[in-house]
């Protein structure tokens, strides 16, 4: 499995990368299913500056008098290097991308397509404050997320940090405390990929997984296309396409079969 974990420079980029590492710790890498991570650290440019990618080695990177942006990159790369050293089934490729905000989504999608990644994971544009609220530091980040969602060549996820992942750091570099995950399965290729990822996590002894599948009720009726706006037409087309196949059913049935003896996995609908 390969993935892009985008570390756009929020107010605390180093905190973001630690949160991403927490997620990677529960991703349960194996020899059969290793992980390749392309970790992007974006630096926003102003004006009409051209985009530039810097490919780093987790083994050789540094500067005697780094700029603030480079110092942030150093901290992020050092954290990723430590994680890679402790997890030999994970390959991390750190990159720094200097790009105008208006074209950042193009760089993310282009890299995802070129490297044939399975998942793009972006941090949520809001961060929790000390009083429990969610604060939006830069409205440009929301636009980046929406543009990636509209143009991504693969599945995309939004990582929302509500300061609940700190317990994962109580153990050693490869240890985690018991965690409970829930997956809401509606259907479609993205949900099937989410199920595969959650299934992967559930293979870990310290992970409990609950999968809730949503099905249309008996009284659901089709709406005439002429009565729907464009957004509803799109949802209707997706539903029609899924109803014509048994892919979702096959996926859920296989999941139930393979996890029926796992006490830590619960599936309901």
Q: Kindly report, residue by residue over 101-128, the tens digit of the pLDDT.
A: 888 889 889 988 998 888 998 888 777 6
Round to whole Å and give the CA distance between 96 and 69.
10
Domain extents in the chain: 2-170, 179-268
Round to whole Å and give the CA distance between 239 and 101.
34
Quick one: pLDDT band at residue 95, thresholds 50, 70, 90? confident
What radius of gyration do the chain's Cα atoms show? 20
Could you give the angle at which helices 104-115 and 139-151 cross, rounded to 10 degrees?
Answer: 40
pLDDT at 47 over 80: no
Round to whole Å and give the CA distance between 174 and 89.
12
Mean pLDDT of 170-186: 72
38 in Cβ contact with 29 (< 8 Å): no
Q: Round the average pLDDT of the chain to a whole number and report it.
A: 76
Quick one: pLDDT band at residue 184, thresholds 50, 70, 90? very high
Q: Which helix (H) or strand (E) holds 127?
A: strand 126-128
Round to whole Å and give the CA distance between 170 and 261.
30
Give whichever of 165-169, 199-203, 253-257 has the largest mean pLDDT. 253-257
Nearest to 56 by CA among 81, 35, 86, 90: 81
pTM: 0.75
Token pair listed for 175 = 């240890």
Tell me, letter by letter, the H, E, C secondary structure of 207-255.
Answer: EEEEEEECCCCCCCCCCCHHHCCHHHHHHHHHHHHHHCCCHHHHHHHHH
Helices assigned H by DSSP within 10-155: 13-25, 68-86, 104-115, 139-151
Token pair listed for 96 = 């720094």
pLDDT at residue number 9: 43
124 in Cβ contact with 11 (< 8 Å): no
Is domain 2-170 in CATH 2.40.70.10, yes or no?
Answer: no
Cα 8 to the center of its chain, rounded Å: 13
């Amino acid at each position: 499995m390969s993935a892009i974990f985008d570390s756009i420079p929020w107010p605390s980029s180093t905190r973001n990368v630690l949160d991403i590492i927490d997620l990677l710790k529960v991703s349960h890498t194996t020899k059969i299913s290793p992980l390749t991570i392309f970790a992007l650290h974006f630096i926003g440019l102003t004006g009409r500056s051209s985009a530039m990618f810097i490919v780093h080695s987790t083994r050789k990177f540094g500067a005697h008098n780094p700029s603030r942006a480079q110092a942030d990159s150093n901290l992020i790369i050092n954290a990723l290097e430590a994680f890679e050293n402790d997890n030999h089934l994970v390959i991390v490729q750190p990159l720094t991308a200097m790009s105008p905000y208006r074209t950042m989504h193009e760089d993310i999608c282009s890299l995802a397509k070129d490297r044939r990644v399975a998942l793009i994971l972006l941090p949520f544009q809001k961060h929790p404050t000390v009083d429990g609220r969610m604060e939006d530091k830069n409205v440009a980040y929301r636009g980046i997320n929406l543009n990636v969602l509209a143009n991504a060549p693969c599945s995309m996820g939004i990582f929302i940090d509500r300061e609940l992942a700190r317990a994962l750091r109580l153990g050693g570099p490869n240890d985690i405390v018991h965690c409970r995950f829930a997956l809401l399965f509606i259907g479609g290729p993205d949900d099937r990929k989410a199920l595969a990822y959650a299934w992967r996590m559930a293979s870990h002894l310290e992970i409990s997984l609950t999968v809730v599948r949503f099905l249309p009720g008996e009284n659901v009726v089709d709406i005439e296309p002429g009565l729907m706006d464009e957004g509803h037409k799109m949802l209707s087309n997706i539903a029609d396409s899924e109803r014509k196949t048994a892919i979702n059913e096959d996926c859920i049935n296989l999941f139930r079969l393979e996890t029926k003896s796992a006490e830590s996995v619960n599936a309901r609908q």
